Amino acid sequence: MSLTASMKRDIKAALDRDPAATSSLEVFFTYPGFHARQYHRVAHTLHRWHLRGLARLISNISRFLTGIEIHPGAKIGEGLFIDHGMGVVIGETSEIGDNVTLHQGVTLGGTSTQRVKRHPTLKNNVMVGGGAQLIGNITIGENSKVGAGSVVLNSVPPNATVVGVPGRVVAVRNPDTDTIEKLPDPVGERLEHLERRLSELEKRLNKTKGRKGEGI
């Protein structure tokens, strides 16, 4: 895909996924996520040419202007949409597929100090909610969604919904039937059981107090 066609796809991604976007010109001139993506194109090209210092300089300028930090080594597919974007961090060995959406404050972080694959891989059509932290060499499967504020430390299957700290899969969508299967939540079920038990104990305690009051 040519550079012009790729940029047009970035603009279309913003128009398709942000109801606040009203025109291509608005996206082109005012969307920091779009700007950060274009800076990264330049920085990534310089990085591949082994001009690492210049690539990092372009990356730092982009971070200063947009509030979004993308390492020049990160590999990004077509149609990336970074909504608002302030505080987004994308690490060096991150790999992002096509039509991915990232909201503000998302981190694709690493856990290793070795020169290995240490950042997440996001497959096509992934959506990551605001403030979510995806840490380590994990893979988020196609069409999956990560809830806002989640901390994901393990790989996620395709078509899944992940929430919580640490992140857990709570539902999986069947792409053939477009139905959603909700998975058991042992922690939530246990908390509900404890709440019911506390409620029962409070009722028994109140009855005991009432009987004592009648006997006085």
Give per-residue pLDDT as tens, 102-125. Answer: 999 999 999 877 888 999 999 999
What would the mean pLDDT of 141-151 be, rounded to a whole number?
Answer: 95
pLDDT of residue 208: 79
Average pLDDT, the chain: 90
CATH of 3-183, one of 3.90.550.10, 2.160.10.10, 1.20.140.10, 3.20.20.10: 2.160.10.10
Instruction: Name the residue among 101, 44, 34 with its Cα closest to residue 68.
Output: 34
pLDDT of residue 113: 79
Say yes or no to pLDDT of 216 above 60: no
Is 148 within 8 Å of 127 (Cβ atoms)? no
Tally Cβ neighbours within 10 Å of residue 60: 13
What would the mean pLDDT of 30-41 be, rounded to a whole number?
Answer: 96
Structure tokens at 99: 């039509």
**Four-point Cα dihedral 186, 191, 195, 201, nearest 10:** 80
Please tell me which residue, 206 or 139, carries the higher pLDDT value. 139
Tally Cβ neighbours within 10 Å of residue 205: 10
Task: Please report which residue ranges of 31-80 form alpha helices under DSSP H.
Answer: 32-48, 52-66
pLDDT of residue 175: 77
Tens of pLDDT, residue by residue over 179-206, are: 666 666 666 667 777 888 888 888 888 8
What would the mean pLDDT of 29-35 be, rounded to a whole number?
Answer: 96
Report the C-alpha gap between 81 and 37 in whole angstroms: 9
What would the mean pLDDT of 83-97 be, rounded to a whole number?
Answer: 95
Say yes or no to pLDDT of 211 above 80: no
pLDDT of residue 214: 62
pLDDT of residue 104: 95
pTM: 0.82
pLDDT of residue 215: 58
Lowest pLDDT segment from 43-52, 95-104, 144-153, 190-199: 190-199
Q: What are the C-alpha distances in Å from 205 to residues 15, 65, 214? A: 59, 62, 14
Lowest pLDDT segment from 16-30, 50-64, 123-137, 164-178: 164-178
Say yes or no to pLDDT of 210 above 80: no
Report the C-alpha gap between 203 and 216 in whole angstroms: 21
Q: Which amino acid is at 10?
A: D
Report the C-alpha gap between 116 and 16 in whole angstroms: 35
Is 92 within 8 Å of 110 (Cβ atoms)? yes
